[in-house]
Structure 1
């Protein structure tokens, strides 16, 4: 069985609970959303890649010398091969993280295995404009807005997996009300599993994220940085 892969690389996990942990990454190419600020357009707006077998990928992960594997995208959950890929990685002794927007979870998947389910629900700030030059047909504003939140999927992910994190990309204080409204619909999500990550492909300037820090302290949430941006900049393969 093969799957379309944008890239694989070994680096440090840059986001979330496992920030700084040496990890092998596999980026699946293809996405059902089109975030306006997407930092991996080569896996979403203009998906590119090569077909690789699951066995080949599992062997590469094992040979990387690290024990954490991160399956990212794009959107991994749109690929029917995902359960087999994760199972093969765990057979190799890897700790597996799946990074998803939480909009898709096929009902027939009763055996999806992962050690950390990293969910990043997309807020209204992610919706592209109707005049986005990357969308000459003008279809993705409505399509993205219709798809970006799926409460039944979010609830199922939060209940099916023991270890989760819920990351929100924030761009203004107005995002907080939307986040609180969404979390009120997800009672199984603990405050310590919620993370706020300032939007951007550069380290934030001093003082510009003070409101994010305050929001995290007041609500018991976590501040999520992008370590890979700090270390390597907005660079592929990091």
Structure 2
């Protein structure tokens, strides 16, 4: 029987974050998430969606004629078929990244897929869900994202960065929570503390005011 996944949306846009920001990308948003972060901006993906086979998803992605693919959610790894989908996409020659909360095991992710793992900061309300064992499965192509909502988040992120020497393992992203953390202040803190991280603002929110499907 063909593997199916529940899909909230598939759309073509510019990558709004991570180290491929600004690059045209096809986003595959899987339905469902076991976390409930305070600042979540994709709660519409918690339920609903449409069941699709891996073959149908790949066929729809092909029609966009785009090299970069991001598998996101929700939490995409909450659906076991996500692994088969990502492998099918890289087998087709696409450049694939996975956006994951870091709360679920990433050790089985196809090594050709770039993992963008979000370590949950204190203000998210889900910090206790972080699976720190995942760090051992990150490589130099992967990325860890810290979403910063306040000073406590910033200090915590710095401590985790130092404890695990994350900047020696993979790329590090610091992203302000829109409406909570002043982005200029966060940028100045990064410079003052000489952090080896990439500052990012979610490009899609600036361009399309966080419109769904963009």
TM, length-normalised to structure 2:
0.90
Q: Quick check: 1:191–1:221 contact (8 Å CA) kept in 2? A: no
Partner in structure 1 of residue 99 of structure 2: 99
Runs of 4+, deviation exceeding 4 Å:
none
Matches within 5 A, 1:1-80: 1-44=3-46, 47-80=47-80
Partner in structure 1 of residue 110 of structure 2: 112
Does 2:214 align with 1:216?
no
Partner in structure 2 of residue 123 of structure 1: 121
Question: Are residues 171 and 145 of structure 1, via their aligned partners in 2, closer, same or farther at CA, if it must alter by over 3 Å?
Answer: closer
Instruction: Give structure 2 stretches of 5+ with no counterpart.
Output: none
Matches of 1:106 and 1:115 in 2, distance apart?
A: 11
Question: Are residues 233 and 179 of structure 1, via their aligned partners in 2, closer, same or farther at CA, if it must alter by over 3 Å?
Answer: same
Does 2:181 align with 1:181?
no
Question: Are residues 55 and 191 of structure 1, via their aligned partners in 2, closer, same or farther at CA, if it must alter by over 3 Å?
Answer: closer
| Structure 1 residues 133-164: Cα deviation after superposition (integer angstroms, max 9, x where no partner) | xxxxxxxxxxx4542x11112x2332xx4411
Question: Are residues 126 and 89 of structure 1, via their aligned partners in 2, closer, same or farther at CA, if it must alter by over 3 Å?
Answer: same
Question: Are residues 188 and 178 of structure 1, via their aligned partners in 2, closer, same or farther at CA, if it must alter by over 3 Å?
Answer: closer
Q: How many residues align?
A: 210
| Structure 1 residues 102-152: Cα deviation after superposition (integer angstroms, max 9, x where no partner) | 111166x3x62443211111111111xxxxxxxxxxxxxxxx4542x1111
Q: Quick check: 1:120–1:168 contact (8 Å CA) kept in 2? A: yes
Question: Are residues 225 and 145 of structure 1, via their aligned partners in 2, closer, same or farther at CA, if it must alter by over 3 Å?
Answer: closer
Does 2:172 align with 1:170?
no
Partner in structure 2 of residue 234 of structure 1: 210
TM, length-normalised to structure 1:
0.81
Matches of 2:179 and 2:66 in 1, distance apart?
A: 26
User: Once the 2 structures are TM-superposed, how far is the Cα of residue 8 of structure 1 from its aligned partner?
Assistant: 0.6
User: Once the 2 structures are TM-superposed, how far is the Cα of residue 167 of structure 1 from its aligned partner?
Assistant: 1.2
Instruction: Give structure 1 stretches of 5+ with no counterpart.
Output: 128-143
